[in-house]
């Protein structure tokens, strides 16, 4: 009798003990994510010498029309700040006028697309920017100046993102339609799933994530769904045990990890709980591990602050914050209200929240990484234009993949970080420790239950068998 009771007790302990021993991935709460976002804002306020969020918007206007400001305008709007700052709007319009003065044939379309999104974030009508229809020239009418895929699938993706940001209608007679853009994007799929900038056949992690962001509203279409599924399989396979993502080099980078987070949340996938993206860590925990005490983000873990890494990480955190809050996706601004031409159209943007930022005393950081990246991009473009596969502005666009010909683009994507090796440093940077919630992962636990049951039965039978022999 005693042996029987003992065997039952051991079996019970096995059943309840093994699941508790199973690994549970860290899970950041909505409060953690909000704190991380506010950390970036505080860092940027110190960096710009601003004493309030309002004055930060004004300070950013000095860089309106380029990476340094535009992505902050977009991300801060999506987080809920009211950034309809007159000086910022004026500076963005000035940048747009500069694009037209320079000639749209020589301007990268991703620059137009990014600045158009920044103007949307400021509550402006991009169909009439000082008389210019920026929406048309950055998307469906771009072929009047250069092929829309002049920067590969990246420029196609952002054109689709821009059209869907306010659910704009494409007019009859346009050079491109939503359907033609989607069809062009799908032709860039790599051989084993995912996407590459120029359709080379091997998926690029950043480009795969960005393309998924564009295709997200069409994920249920019969021609898009399997493509998205294959791309997700690629991203799942490429994630390391800590949840981070590499791209060109051996190190995990915050930029690549950030783009994956935006992609997953755009599809309605939680990057912390989905079994395909939850191992020892997940993309969110991996990204937060690269946030510094200053609030800025490093390109790789343990490196110094990096401006590109910071604004891309900010976008990802805001995207995940919106996901956890049950809000629309990062690039969904609302619906454009079409009015008579004699009336000024209203933009039905979402209600913006007002959040106060607590200043934290830390050192500021000025990064010239963006300029270096831009220079490398231009050098890459010049090299490409000298090759036989370069795009000629007077030659028609070639098809990719299905026709077995590569895209003739000599340009690289403007809005994707060109990753560089981190600058060596002897300075040890302590990572910012955020409050975490230790949550058991059901997917991790359930796999251990069958083993526990078998083990318990083995003990029971073994004890009873030995008792029978005696």
Q: Write out pLDDT tens, residues 205-252.
A: 999 999 999 999 999 999 999 999 999 999 999 999 999 999 877 899
Mean pLDDT score across all residues of the chain: 78
Structural domain including 56 reads 23-354+396-446
Same domain flag for 155 and 297: yes
Cα angle 191-149-216, degrees, rounded to a multiple of 5 = 65
Kindly report the number of other CB atoms within 10 A of residue 399's CB atom.
13
Distance CA 49, CA 59 (A): 8
Confidence of residue 346 (pLDDT cuts 50, 70, 90): low
Q: Answer whether residue 20 shows pLDDT above 80.
A: no
What's the CA gap between 10 and 422, in Å, rounded?
A: 53
- The residue-averaged pLDDT of 167-179 equals 97
**Would you say residue 257 lies in a domain?**
yes
CATH code assigned at 248: 1.50.10.20
Is residue 3 domain-shared with residue 33, that is, in the same domain?
no
Highest average pLDDT, of 317-331, 347-361, 427-441, comes from 317-331
Summarised one tens digit per residue, pLDDT across range 413-441 is 434 433 333 333 433 333 333 333 333 34
- DSSP-assigned letters across all residues of 209-273: HHHHHHHGGGTTSTTTHHHHHHHHHHHHHH--TTS--B-SSSSBBHHHHHHHHHHHHHTT--TTT
Total-model pTM = 0.72
376 in a structural domain? no
Number of domains in the chain: 2
Grouping H, G, I as helix, E, B as strand and the rest as coil, residue 291 is strand
The dihedrals phi and psi of 347, each to the nearest 5 degrees, come to -105, 115
Distance from C-alpha of 187 to C-alpha of 200, rounded to nearest angstrom? 11
Residue pair 117/415 in contact (Cβ under 8 Å)? The answer is: no
Which segment, 55-59, 302-306, 413-417, is predicted with the most confidence on average? 302-306
Residue 61: pLDDT above 60?
yes
Task: Looking at the structure, tell me whether residues 149 and 173 fall in a common domain.
Answer: yes
Using only the alpha carbons of the chain, give its radius of gyration: 25
Residues 312 and 248 in one domain: yes
Are residue 149 and residue 1 in the same domain, yes or no?
no
Co-location of 86 and 228 in the same domain: yes
pLDDT at 25: 52
- pLDDT confidence of residue 82: 74
Binning pLDDT at 50, 70 and 90, where does residue 466 land?
A: low
> Could you tell me if 304 and 425 lie in one domain?
yes
Q: Please choose, from the candidates 189, 194, 192, 191, the residue with its C-alpha nearest in 3D space to the C-alpha of residue 205.
A: 194
- Residue 334's SS3 state is strand
Query: Does 417 reside within a domain?
Result: yes
The proportion of the chain whose per-residue pLDDT surpasses 90, expressed as a percent, equals 60
């Amino acid at each position: 009798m005693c042996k029987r009771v003992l065997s039952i007790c051991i079996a019970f302990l096995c059943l309840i003990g093994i699941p508790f021993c199973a690994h549970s991935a860290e899970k950041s709460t909505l409060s953690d994510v909000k704190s991380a976002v506010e950390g970036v804002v505080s860092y940027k306020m110190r960096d710009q010498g601003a004493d309030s969020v309002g004055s930060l918007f004004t300070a950013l206007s000095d860089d309106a029309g380029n990476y340094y400001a535009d992505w902050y305008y977009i991300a801060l709007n999506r987080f809920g700040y009211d950034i309809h700052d007159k000086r910022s709007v004026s500076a963005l319009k000035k940048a747009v006028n500069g694009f037209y003065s320079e000639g749209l044939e020589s301007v990268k379309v991703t620059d137009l697309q990014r600045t158009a999104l920044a103007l949307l974030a400021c509550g402006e009508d991009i169909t009439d920017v000082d008389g210019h229809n920026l929406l048309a020239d950055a998307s469906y009418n771009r072929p009047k100046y250069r092929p829309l895929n002049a920067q590969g699938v990246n420029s196609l993706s952002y054109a689709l993102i821009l059209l869907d940001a306010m659910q704009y209608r494409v007019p009859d007679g346009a050079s491109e339609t939503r359907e033609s853009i989607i069809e062009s994007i799908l032709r860039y799929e790599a051989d084993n799933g995912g996407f590459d900038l120029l359709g080379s056949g091997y998926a690029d992690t950043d480009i795969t994530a960005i393309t998924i962001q564009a295709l997200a509203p069409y994920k249920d279409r019969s021609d898009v769904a399997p493509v998205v599924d294959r791309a997700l399989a690629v991203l799942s396979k490429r994630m390391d045990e800590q949840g981070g993502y590499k791209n060109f080099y051996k190190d995990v980078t915050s930029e690549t990890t950030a783009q994956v987070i935006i992609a997953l949340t755009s599809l309605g996938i939680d990057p912390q709980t989905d079994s395909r993206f939850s191992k020892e860590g997940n993309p969110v925990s991996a990204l937060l591990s690269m946030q510094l005490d200053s609030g800025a983000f490093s390109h790789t873990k343990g490196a110094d602050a990096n401006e590109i890494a910071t604004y891309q990480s900010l976008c990802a955190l805001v995207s995940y914050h919106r996901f956890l809050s049950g809000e629309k996706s990062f690039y969904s601004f609302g619906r454009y209200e079409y009015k008579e031409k004699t009336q000024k159209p209203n933009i039905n943007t979402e209600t913006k929240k007002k959040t106060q930022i607590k200043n934290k005393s830390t050192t500021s950081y000025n990064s010239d990484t963006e300029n270096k990246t831009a220079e490398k991009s231009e050098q890459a473009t010049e090299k490409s234009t000298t090759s036989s596969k370069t795009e000629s502005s007077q030659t028609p666009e070639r098809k990719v993949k299905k026709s077995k010909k590569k895209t003739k683009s000599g340009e690289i994507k403007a809005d994707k970080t060109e990753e560089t090796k981190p600058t060596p440093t002897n300075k040890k940077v302590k990572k910012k420790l955020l409050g975490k919630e230790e949550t058991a992962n059901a997917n991790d636990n359930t796999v251990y239950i069958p083993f526990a049951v078998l083990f318990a039965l083995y003990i029971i039978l073994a004890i009873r068998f030995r008792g029978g022999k005696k």
